[in-house]
Amino acid sequence: MDMKEIDSVPWTKHRNKPCCVIHHTTGQQHQCIQTLIVAPKKTTAQQQHSSNELVASHSPTSHKTHSSTIPMLLVAFLLVVSLISPAFSDSGHSLPANQTFHPASQLNKLKRITDYLTKINKPAVKTIQSPDGDVIDCVLSHLQPAFDHPELKGQKPLDPPERPKGLNTTDTVAKSFQLWAESGESCPEGTVPIRRTTEKDVLGASSIDRYGRKPVRHVRRDSSGTGHEHAVLFVNGDQYFGAKAGINVWAPQVTDRYEFSLSQIWVISGSFGHDLNTIEAGWQVSPDLYGDNNPRFFTYWTTDAYQATGCYNLLCSGFVQTNNRVAIGAAISPKSYYNGRQFDIGLMVWKDPKHGHWWLEFGSGLLVGYWPAFLFSHLRTHASMVQFGGEIVNSRSSGYHTSTQMGSGHFAEEGFGKASYFRNLQVVDWDNNLLPLTNLHLLADHPNCYDIKQGRNNAWGTYFYYGGPGRNVKCP
């Protein structure tokens, strides 16, 4: 996987001049130059984590049976009561005073969680402890969650497909790109690293039933009333067979547990009704899903506008992972700092011309895996829209606009080293060629909270800066 450090952008004399953009239309910007791309140096934090040791996987310890069943029943009941917390309810809030506690109902919830964890957490041949608290299980490739799907049972991951023509393969590859791998531990060949889902993850989620799924909503259109806000660049009006971009990595503040902040590529087909198909990949900060504020590499898919199909990462049967170096859902390291070093990740999604599956590549040549074509309806043939940019959830839990940040938490006009960016945006055509964007549009549905400015130059091709702080004087 590639993690690129961007030391600086050698600008022309117009370096600090804001980019010109008219929302919803193609924007043009002054010319500027950026040429220096180097591999990241090992940071002090990486050195500190190098002593992390391998934790061996083991079977649960057996317990002796008491002669009397009464103490065991009491212990079981007390255990259930101890697990009941505000986060345990489907709504994510504590029970009102006038509601009665129902032990049978809570026991049922506990059983559902246990059944889900048993299904999703596969047997590991090796287990790695990450410094951020994650546990990474090395699971045999053919036992990963995807192969629970009826269409995939008994199969094995496919061989690599033909990559798009016109791909630049000169970028350097970083040895470490996620926190769990900084100790030097890795999963053996023939296995895939999977972030273990815990009871704490599920108990802390806003909804047990929808754990691992995005809230039901629209993607881009009519987004103003859904609580989801965007600053994106999109292309439409053609048939698309893939997309590629370099995405600046930050750790934006998310001020409410049930909000998130993400930066991603969307590959979209179908209407914006119930038949919407999407393939998504990028980084996100989501306390609801992961229990912390680390930026994490993620994937997503849906075939019915987030209703009943699809999920994040490997939390359901769908995406087939083929790589033993990437843990989807694990924290990305390093990340960018304001007025400091800048890091970005390269992502590409494209349709295999031979088999029709949608593949995901991280950096130069590091294939993560693929979404089988049979998962989709409209995306079985092609995409009708590609979208790049940021999205946040504004829950207004305090009665006013959230202070959850998008990107770096700073507006686009601040530019390199301060505002987050996407660079080298491209799409894949019907003949598997990477091409520059045409017919592009910009959308910031709440520009006083989060905005976007686009430009073009020789080094970064089509690029844009985006993001913002959320709540401020102009965004009450």
Q: Nearest-CA neighbor of 457 among 5, 34, 23, 167? A: 34
Q: Nearest-CA neighbor of 320 among 357, 346, 288, 285? A: 357
Residue with tokens 């990028």: 282
Cα–Cα distance, 12 to 68 (Å, whole number): 82
Residue with tokens 């033993």: 324
User: What is the identity of the amino acid at 359?
Assistant: W
Q: Please tell me the number of Cα atoms within 13 Å of 254 on its side-chain side.
A: 26
Q: Nearest-CA neighbor of 419 among 405, 403, 431? A: 405
Q: Choosing from 5, 182, 185, 391, which is the catalytic residue?
A: 391
Burial letters 68-96, b for 16+ CB under 10 A, else e: eeeeeeeeeeeeeeebbeebbbeeeeeee
Cα–Cα distance, 198 to 209 (Å, whole number): 15
Residue with tokens 């030097």: 184
The token pair at 62 is: 């057996």
Contact call for residues 242 and 164 (beta carbons, < 8 A): yes
Cα–Cα distance, 358 to 349 (Å, whole number): 7
CA end-to-end span of the chain: 40
In the annotation, is 280 catalytic? Answer: yes
Give the E-state strand segments of 294-411 in sequence order: 296-302, 320-321, 342-351, 358-362, 366-371, 383-393
For 373, phi and psi rounded to 5 degrees?
A: -60, -30
In the annotation, is 391 catalytic? Answer: yes
Q: How many CB atoms lie within 10 A of CB 459?
A: 15
Q: Choosing from 182, 229, 259, 280, which is the catalytic residue?
A: 280
DSSP string covering 440-472: EEEEESSTTTSEEEEEEETTTEEEEEEEB-SSB
Cα–Cα distance, 369 to 359 (Å, whole number): 6
- Tell me the catalytic residues: 280, 391
